[in-house]
Structure 1
């Protein structure tokens, strides 16, 4: 049995690896993970309403993935380090975001990665991890992931990254995790504002993980604008260096701020989402 994310050590271990020559093994998921029939998403915006997309939430229907029964259980999200959060679904599926080789004292069922810097990926994921989802496509073009594992559905929305001489198309992915009736998004190493089409592809996000460094990614103002438009119930900052987090919080005047200096995890379900949009700053961020 896997160790719970509650046992994740509070140490910080950045794994900086150079080069892109070694890719996940064939036994693991590559740059394209899609089934013959794409699973229905509970979080997608109604594309026809772009540029003023609204979100489909039909009263009285389940926010679960696969049947009409109400979702049961709670989802736990734990801050590990840098841009890595561990998500544990109600069914026990574990996910590590922007995985650079460390997720605590266990192997997740799913890891997602982005290529902007070595602290967001590893060329050598442990073979014990069954699903490795790079946010870029080594063969060129956008990565496309549509993965169902247990009670979790993972999909991605590609974005561009800065590179020598300009922008590199599709070098980053925003990953969306649908589980337990929740829509959870991780912006990765986002370098530019999102388009209306991007917002439509992302859909509703109940919980948003957002980089707040204000330099290597986007400005705090730019990230604040994205978080404000998505109107997520919970915003979880990440990817902060030595700059004060207040610079980001100042861009979120309509959000309640909760500083949980003694907690590395939150446990949440659709019924326990805060009524007012809230930024939760966990221990170590």
Structure 2
């Protein structure tokens, strides 16, 4: 399985059969603050955690993908995807609306993409989600959970591999924090120096892998 980080909350996940999933495609220039280059790559499946322009720009994906933007269980091209409703804020959606966490089973790995999660998760959420191998988690704060809240989520979900997203880069003018705030003082961090990684096995203990945005 391959995971490629485009930037913001957008990833390409490709299984061993070549099925491609793109998460939360962004609109370049959205809100005058997101300046990643266009994705402009094909996918079979697109997941959208919520309807904000920096997460829902399906038009930036080539081909005719199946778009999943609702809670519930979905099966597409042999990939099982489950959406669970949470919120984009700490006030049950009154500030920024709902958000969907998507879990997916790819090549035997269970991946969770948290979208713009705005609050920590309970044990009840963890039960709904089930065991998580690979966690794609926002860490920049302001619009989402911040670095300390992200670490609380890690304690709740206990994934083996953590890939941070939704953080400040030269292409982002939003008032969010850089990934350094999340990884500071953590002994289990690997800065891979690449935007793409191939995963064939999981680490024995939880590790944080930092990917460079491909679309800077």
- Whether these two folds match at TM > 0.5 is yes
Partner of 1:249 in structure 2?
183
Instruction: Pick the aligned partner of 2:154 from 214, 217, 227.
Output: 227
Partner Cα separation in structure 2 for residue 215 and residue 169 of structure 1: 11
Partner Cα separation in structure 1 for residue 103 and residue 9 of structure 2: 15
Partner of 2:11 in structure 1?
85
Is the 8 Å Cα contact of residues 46 and 58 (structure 2) preserved in structure 1? no
In structure 2, relative to structure 1, the CA distance for the partners of 1:132 and 1:249 (3 Å cut) is same
CA offsets 1:129-164 (integer angstroms, 9 cap, x no match):
231112xxxxxxxx3232222331111111022499
Are 1:265 and 2:196 counterparts? yes
Deviation of the 1:172 alpha carbon: 0.6
Deviation of the 1:167 alpha carbon: 2.1
Matches within 5 A, 1:42-121: 75-100=1-26, 104-115=39-50, 117-121=52-56
Is the 8 Å Cα contact of residues 100 and 113 (structure 1) preserved in structure 2? no
Structure 2: segments with no counterpart, 5+ residues: 29-37, 170-176
Partner of 2:31 in structure 1?
none
Q: Secondary structure of the residue that 1:132 maps to in structure 2?
A: strand
In structure 2, relative to structure 1, the CA distance for the partners of 1:162 and 1:116 (3 Å cut) is farther
Partner of 1:283 in structure 2?
212
In structure 2, relative to structure 1, the CA distance for the partners of 1:151 and 1:128 (3 Å cut) is same
Q: CA RMSD in A?
A: 2.7
CA offsets 1:83-142 (integer angstroms, 9 cap, x no match):
1010001121100011235874432100011336310112757683231112xxxxxxxx
Is the 8 Å Cα contact of residues 188 and 208 (structure 2) preserved in structure 1? yes
Matches within 5 A, 1:1-285: 75-100=1-26, 104-115=39-50, 117-122=52-57, 124=59, 128-134=63-69, 143-162=70-89, 167=94, 171-242=98-169, 243-250=177-184, 253=186, 256-261=188-193, 263-269=194-200, 272-284=201-213
What is the TM-score normalised by the length of structure 2?
0.81
What is the TM-score normalised by the length of structure 1?
0.62
In structure 2, relative to structure 1, the CA distance for the partners of 1:267 and 1:124 (3 Å cut) is closer
Is the 8 Å Cα contact of residues 93 and 149 (structure 1) preserved in structure 2? no
Partner Cα separation in structure 2 for residue 126 and residue 105 of structure 1: 5
Partner Cα separation in structure 1 for residue 97 and residue 125 of structure 2: 12
Is the 8 Å Cα contact of residues 136 and 164 (structure 2) preserved in structure 1? yes
Structure 1: segments with no counterpart, 5+ residues: 1-74, 135-142
Q: Secondary structure of the residue that 1:215 maps to in structure 2?
A: coil
In structure 2, relative to structure 1, the CA distance for the partners of 1:170 and 1:197 (3 Å cut) is farther
Partner Cα separation in structure 2 for residue 152 and residue 166 of structure 1: 29
Partner Cα separation in structure 1 for residue 109 and residue 92 of structure 2: 39
